[in-house]
Amino acid sequence: MGWHLRTGNSLVQECYKEDVPIFCPALNDSAAGIGLLMHQTNNRTSHLTIDSIKDLRELTYLKVETPHTGLFMVGGGVPKNFAQDVVVAAESIGHRVPMHQYAIQLTVADVRDGACSSSTLDEASSWGKVDNTNTQMVYGEATSTLPIIANYAYHNTDIENRKKRKLHELFRS
């Protein structure tokens, strides 16, 4: 990352310190996207540009280079579909990759009314994106469910003996 973080304890800063790439597929459809539009309009000769297809390419190659993957999705919509679709994207550019082996989705949405992007993890499996052998839909509000799951993972993972991965190094070419 070529930019600097000036915030205190944040998830983004921790990802930066640990070389964990962050993808934001729906940036254009957000207040941040509007802010970047204003930035580019006000700074026509020198401004920040975000290449959303590069995000797709990088996440796709992350899947190609790391075939054993899982998804932890908070909510749904574009980010959920973006993460699941890298299996299809990889195959569309000539790479045979396995489905994501694990998936957890935290959501309050219900498919009966078209919410949850009208798609459960079972449907993702039918499209060849997620192997539903090890999946779990968690129906509950994320500010309640996410801390419980994060706490459990933190206290039940051997962090000291886990090999540190430098996924950002895949994108240097």
Write down the pLDDT at residue 1. 37
129 noted as active-site residue: yes
Does residue 64 lie within any of the structural domains?
yes
Phi-psi region of 116 (alpha: psi -120 to 50; beta: other; left: phi over 0): left
How far apart (Å, rounded) are the C-alpha atoms in residues 56 and 64?
Answer: 12
Looking only at the bridges linking them, the beta strands covering 70-74 and 130-139 are unpaired
Please state the φ and ψ torsions of residue 101, each to the nearest 5 degrees. Answer: -85, -25
Residues across the chain:
173
Q: What is the CATH number of the domain that holds 107?
A: 3.40.50
Q: How many domains would you assign to the chain?
A: 1
Three-state secondary structure string covering the chain: CCCCCCCCCCHHHHHHHCCCCCCCCCHHHCHHHHHHHHHHHHCCCCCCCCCHHHHHHHHHHHHHHCCCCEEEEECCHHHHHHHHHHHHHHHHCCCCCCCEEEEEEEECCCHHHCCHHHCCHHHHHHCCCEEEEEEEEEECCHHHHHHHHHHHHHHCCCCCCCCCCCHHHHHCC
Which residue range is the domain that position 71 belongs to? 52-158+167-171
pTM of the complete model? 0.73
Write down the pLDDT at residue 87. 93
Does residue 33 lie within any of the structural domains?
no
Write down the pLDDT at residue 70. 92
Does residue 37 lie within any of the structural domains?
no
Which structure tokens are listed for 93?
A: 């550019």
Does residue 146 lie within any of the structural domains?
yes
Q: Under a CB-based contact definition with an 8 Å cutoff, are residues 120 and 137 in contact?
A: yes
Does residue 10 lie within any of the structural domains?
no
Which of 54, 63, 80, 129 is an active site residue?
A: 129
Does residue 27 lie within any of the structural domains?
no
Does residue 4 lie within any of the structural domains?
no
Write down the pLDDT at residue 148. 94
How would you write the pLDDT of the chain (173 residues) with one tens digit per residue? 344 445 567 777 777 788 888 777 777 777 888 888 888 899 989 888 888 888 888 889 999 998 899 999 888 878 888 888 999 999 999 999 999 999 999 988 876 655 565 577 777 787 788 888 888 889 999 999 999 998 998 899 888 888 887 777 777 65
Does residue 14 lie within any of the structural domains?
no
